[in-house]
Amino acid sequence: MSHKEPDPSEVPVKYGTERRLFTLRILRPHEVPQHPALPLQPNAPDMPQPDIKSFINTALSESLGFIDETWPVLASKGEKASPPSKAKVALFGKDINNPHGAPECWFARRSIHEGRKEEGTADWGEFVSGLFDGHSVNEKEYTPDVFDARKILDWGEDVGKAFEGDEQWAEVSMCAYEMAHKIPVLSNRVFPELIIAAKYKPHTPHHSAFVFVQIPLNLETSPDAFYSNGSNKTKGEGLQKKDVVLGRYVSMERCIERADGKISWEMATASDAAGALPMPLQKFGVPAAVVKDVGLFLSWTAKRRGP
């Protein structure tokens, strides 16, 4: 009986560098830097919490390493249109082995934009103001399915002090959000996220570039949480009051202003909407959403310019 060799595109890839933070695994309060509004869980191990600088450096290193080392082995899904974007969106995807659990289904995209303030593209300042400054709140504005973007925690000045004089990173921030999404027919989803953003220093290889990372975080112990601890049912309004399912979402975005003036926008993500939504159905819907986001952002950017 003949033995059929597996299709390489169907075989999960083992990531070369172990990822402790940049995965779909939900981080618990004791695994992140201390914050007064994020108490430890009762069963938390008796161990020091990580310091801010080493934690952020690890998260950035793992996310950048993932996109640089793993991208070449992701299977190409072709180039897609994302109106009104003039640039086509290159789409990739593959299952990646995760040492902390089941293989993660990753999708990634790359688009190269002209870098001009005109219809179908955007200049560097617009990418910064839309995707670096206030990213989560802006996402709510340009993504129809997102009905709430709620900041729960902010490490604020502690991060600024930790990275003062840093040779690689500037304007570093770390906070936590609950991102609420409408799901037709099923319960709405909320993704509690630890968010890290940073710009490259001017003398680094990418003189104008920034990174935005999202990692699942358990916020149930925080008195400031809204959906994670059920406070939305008594304090919410409209859609906010409805039952939600807590999902998991990990992603990174990197924007680079190239020497030729064009702008590279890269994004990689894995998610699990949980609940009664089967993973095969999720895998079917995610690629289209990943591509669509490019057009949604550029359409929103054009409207912000005014007439």
Alpha-carbon dihedral of residues 269, 275, 277, 282, nearest 10 degrees?
10
Q: Cβ(272)–Cβ(279) under 8 Å?
A: yes
Question: Is residue 204 pLDDT above 80, yes or no?
Answer: no
Residue pLDDT, tens place only, 256-287: 999 899 999 999 999 987 765 666 666 777 89
Question: Is residue 14 pLDDT above 90, yes or no?
Answer: no
**Per mean pLDDT, which range of 4-18, 27-41, 121-135 is the poorest?**
4-18
Structure confidence at residue 283 (pLDDT): 72
Region 119-127 average pLDDT: 97
Region 1-8 average pLDDT: 38
Q: What is the mean pLDDT of the chain?
A: 89
Q: How crowded is the C-beta side of 92, counted as CA atoms within 13 Å?
A: 18
Q: pLDDT class for 11, splitting at 50, 70, 90?
A: very low
Structure confidence at residue 280 (pLDDT): 67
Q: pLDDT class for 99, splitting at 50, 70, 90?
A: low
User: Helix, strand or coil for residue 219?
Assistant: coil
Structure confidence at residue 279 (pLDDT): 65
User: Helix, strand or coil for residue 139?
Assistant: helix
Structure confidence at residue 7 (pLDDT): 37
- Which residues does 65 contact at the CB level (< 8 Å), separation at least 6? 17
Domains of the chain, start order: 19-305 (3.30.530.20)
Question: Is residue 6 pLDDT above 60, yes or no?
Answer: no
Region 175-186 average pLDDT: 92
Query: Rounded to 5, what percent of the chain is helix, strand, coil?
Result: 30, 30, 40
Distance CA 115, CA 68 (A): 23
Question: Is residue 12 pLDDT above 70, yes or no?
Answer: no
Question: Is residue 202 pLDDT above 80, yes or no?
Answer: no
Residue pLDDT, tens place only, 51-86: 999 999 999 999 999 888 877 778 899 999 999 999
**Length of the chain in terms of residues written:** 307
Q: pLDDT class for 210, splitting at 50, 70, 90?
A: very high
Question: Is residue 206 pLDDT above 60, yes or no?
Answer: no
Region 12-33 average pLDDT: 79
User: Nearest-CA neighbor of 16 among 115, 97, 124, 105?
Assistant: 97
Structure confidence at residue 17 (pLDDT): 58
Structure confidence at residue 2 (pLDDT): 39
Question: Is residue 29 pLDDT above 60, yes or no?
Answer: yes
Structure confidence at residue 248 (pLDDT): 95
Q: What is the percentage of the chain residues whose pLDDT exceeds 90?
A: 74
Region 104-114 average pLDDT: 95
Structure confidence at residue 19 (pLDDT): 82
Distance CA 234, CA 300 (A): 33
